Structures are given as structure tokens and as C-alpha cells.
């Protein structure tokens, strides 16, 4: 593992009005790691993950991604978002575009890449997420799990260094959850740096290299999953994990 973290947060503060959502967050994530962020609803998890690609601007502190300061007023947001892909709970696919067109749109229209190369990559990514043969379907013809996997392929089409997953299985039926998590596990095994906000504790335990637990905008527990789940030190972490494990 590289000594320098790929992502480093120091004293990150974020408020919405008078409500403090993130309160002095410090964390390090290394290249190739899979990190899960867990915690009760309203603890700041989704806000935290959205600070990594400047979707949720912070008021104080530092977020460095590979040497780029995300909290820099002169930040090139497009360049950052090419490096840091994000997939949300809602698939946000274009309903009037086919699966293949959805995946090709950003590389063609945002990055102005060569169409033949983009299409080749899009087809390869569809195979990666196990949806070959559905290129010409529309999102409305797919199951929720399939739509979410198209959303993952679409994000990968920008060739990011880091993938963020914000509660990507929250809206899915149990069997669809499995197929999306298998896709994420395969990405992680292939060496992609993956950061997930998730309620899927069995998945976090199995796949994460490191887990951060948030409560009330603070990191209250952090460590390798076997340690964090088996032997939490913080009283809030004990209470939360006792309820859900």
C-alpha cells in the first residue's frame, strides 16, 4: 500500500444554515482500498461522500484527492469529477436514451472523445456489469438492479480513479441488491478505489478494507471491519451495531 493516501480529509466542516452536518472529519483512504461509511440516518454519511467531488462544498478544512485541494475556489470541478465518479440511490438515467447511449453520453459530449473508442469501451463496461445484449434497451425496460448497474457502467465510462457509491442499493429489492453488490465487489477486486455509504453490513464486513462509522457528523469509530464489528469501543457505535447486527 502506498504511504501517501489518495484521499485525505482534515478537520472538514460542513453546515446547512445553522445545522452542522460534518464536524471535524479526518480520514485517509489509500489507492485500491474499499472503504465503507456506515452510521445511523442523518449522521452525515451522504453529505460526506459528496464532499469528495465537490457536490457538497465544505466551509472549513481540507480535502485532498491525489494532491488536488477540493476546497480550492479555483478548483476545476469537471477535471475532478472525471477522476471521481459517483453513483446515487436514484439511477438518474436518461429515459429516452438506450443503455448504450446513456453510457456513451458523457465521454462524447463532456470529454469529446472519439465515438468508436467510446462505443468500444461502453460495450466492454456492459460486459463488466454483466449486461451484454441489453445495449439497445431503454431504462424503463430494465429492472432496478439492471438500471443501477447501467448507472455504474456510465460512471466508469469516464475512467475515474475513484468510485463513490451513495446508498446505491437502498431502493432495490433484496435479490437485486445482491447483483449490484457483486458488481461493486468485482470492481474492488480489480483494484478500483471504492468508497460506499451503505446499510449493507454483511457486505461491509466481507468486502471493505476499512470502515468508518459516523454519528452526528463525527467519526466515532474506524478500523478494519472484523475489528469494528466484533469489538466496537465507542458507546454510540456499540449501541448502533447492536441494533443492526
Q: What is the mean pLDDT of residues 104-110?
A: 94
Banded model confidence at residue 103, pLDDT cuts 50, 70, 90: very high
Q: Is residue 106 over pLDDT 80?
A: yes
Nearest C-alpha neighbor of 192 from the set 183, 204, 201: 183
- CA terminus-to-terminus distance, the chain: 30
User: pLDDT tens digits for 11-39?
Assistant: 999 999 999 999 999 999 999 999 999 99
What gap in Å lies between CA 123 and CA 142, rounded to an integer? Answer: 17
Mean pLDDT in the chain? Answer: 95
**CB neighbour class for 127 (10 Å; exposed up to 12, middle 13-18, buried from 19):** exposed
pLDDT in tens, 192-239: 999 999 999 999 999 999 999 999 999 999 999 999 999 999 999 999
pLDDT over 80 (residue 74)? yes
pLDDT for position 199:
93
Per-residue pLDDT at 1 exceeds 80: no
Query: Would you say residue 3 has pLDDT above 80?
Result: no
Rounded-to-integer distance, Cα 191 and Cα 173, Å: 28
β-sheet bridge partners, residue 75: none
* CATH of the structural domain 7-244, one choice from 3.40.50.300, 3.40.640.10, 1.10.357.10, 3.40.50.720: 3.40.50.300
State pLDDT tens for residues 110-144: 889 999 999 999 999 999 999 999 999 999 999 99
pLDDT of residue 100: 98
**Cα separation of 71 and 53, whole Å?**
10
Q: What is the pLDDT of residues 144-167, one digit of tens each?
A: 999 999 999 999 999 999 999 999
Q: Where are the alpha helices (DSSP H) in 84-234?
A: 99-109, 115-128, 144-156, 174-189, 201-207, 225-230
- Read off the C-alpha cell for 224: 478494519
pLDDT of amino acid 244: 85
Amino acid at each position: 500500500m502506498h504511504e501517501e493516501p489518495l484521499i485525505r480529509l482534515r478537520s472538514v466542516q460542513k453546515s446547512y444554515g445553522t445545522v452542522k452536518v460534518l464536524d471535524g472529519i479526518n480520514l485517509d483512504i489509500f489507492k485500491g482500498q474499499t472503504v465503507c461509511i456506515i452510521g445511523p440516518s442523518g449522521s452525515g454519511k451522504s453529505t460526506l461522500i459528496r464532499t469528495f467531488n465537490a457536490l457538497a462544498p465544505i466551509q472549513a478544512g481540507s480535502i485532498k484527492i491525489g494532491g488536488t485541494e477540493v476546497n480550492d475556489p479555483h478548483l476545476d470541478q469537471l477535471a475532478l469529477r472525471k477522476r471521481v465518479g459517483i453513483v446515487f440511490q436514484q439511477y438518474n438515467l436518461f429515459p429516452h436514451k438506450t443503455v448504450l447511449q446513456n453510457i456513451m453520453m458523457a465521454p462524447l459530449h463532456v470529454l469529446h472523445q472519439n465515438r468508436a473508442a467510446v462505443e468500444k469501451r461502453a460495450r466492454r463496461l456492459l460486459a463488466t456489469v454483466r449486461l451484454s445484449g441489453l445495449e439497445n434497451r431503454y431504462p424503463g425496460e430494465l429492472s432496478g438492479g439492471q438500471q443501477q448497474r447501467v448507472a455504474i457502467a456510465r460512471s466508469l465510462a469516464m475512467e475515474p480513479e475513484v468510485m463513490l457509491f451513495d446508498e446505491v442499493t437502498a431502493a432495490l429489492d433484496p435479490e437485486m441488491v445482491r447483483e449490484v453488490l457483486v458488481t461493486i465487489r468485482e470492481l474492488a477486486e480489480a483494484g478500483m478505489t471504492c468508497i460506499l455509504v451503505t446499510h449493507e453490513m454483511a457486505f461491509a464486513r466481507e468486502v471493505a478494507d476499512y470502515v468508518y462509522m459516523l454519528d452526528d457528523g463525527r467519526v466515532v469509530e474506524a478500523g478494519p471491519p472484523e475489528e469494528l464489528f466484533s469489538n466496537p469501543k465507542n458507546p454510540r457505535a456499540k449501541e448502533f451495531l447492536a441494533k443492526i447486527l
